[in-house]
Amino acid sequence: MLRITDARTGEPIEAVRARRGLTRVEAHVERDDLSALRVLLVADVLARALEIGGTPVVTVADPPAGLRARAAELGIRPAEGDRSGAGPALHVLTSGEAAAEGVRVEVARVSGAADPSLLRMVLLATPRQEAVDLAVSDLDGARLTLARWRRAVATWATRPSKPVPEGVRQELRAAWEDDLDVPAVLEVLRRVESAEDVPDGARFETYAYADRLLGLELTRDIGAAL
């Protein structure tokens, strides 16, 4: 079960009280800036995590048109509902901003600029509670890692399929269910990449499984390695 820190109390709580009931993930964005874009990204990943766990989710947001376009560039799925819907709500917002009653998931601010193709990777690699200054972020490292992983996944896809090792699956789930710790998810993938006891077919399935959460299009280059 996903546990998330409620910024109102500073305490971790179960993100979903009624597991089978519809949960709203409300992204509070009014400006067209990188901090608001990060709020939409965290809401997107939070919704993905809940869906993988079997919880019905609707994402709610009303971003300005420019922000909506930038969100699409990052592979952030568009919002589906409105704030009048029933069911419990998780409010995702920039640190220090106000929200309606309910669980607050706060996201630190972003400054600087970066290639949109790298921005999702860079933001996912940083805990959401930490501010991001793209002027000092390791953009080259993010570019190289993303390109390497996509090439590797395309190659692994040509090998005999093997299931995700159960221990690895548990590590991934434990990471993202612990306050949506996406950097820990990325660390599991780094270990699997070079693990001598994981067959290539299992590496492929592991990366494809984790990408249901990450949305990094890690399977995008399948076929290009042939």
* Helix/strand/coil (H/E/C) assignment for every residue in 103-126: EEEEECCEECCCCHHHHHHHHHCC
Residues of the chain with pLDDT under 50: 225
**Per-residue confidence (pLDDT) for residue 105, from 0 to 100:** 95
Condensed to tens digits (0 to 9), the pLDDT of residues 206-219 reads 999 999 999 999 99
Statement: 140-214 belongs to CATH 1.20.120: yes
**Per-residue confidence (pLDDT) for residue 30, from 0 to 100:** 86
Report yes or no: 107 and 95 within 8 Å, Cβ to Cβ. Answer: yes
3-state SS, residue 76:
coil
- Rounded Cα gap, residues 62 and 22, in angstroms: 19
The residues spanned by each domain of the chain are 3-136, 140-214
Task: Give the β-pairing of 11-14 and 3-6.
Answer: antiparallel
| Of residues 144, 182, 140, 188, the one with CA closest to residue 165 | 188
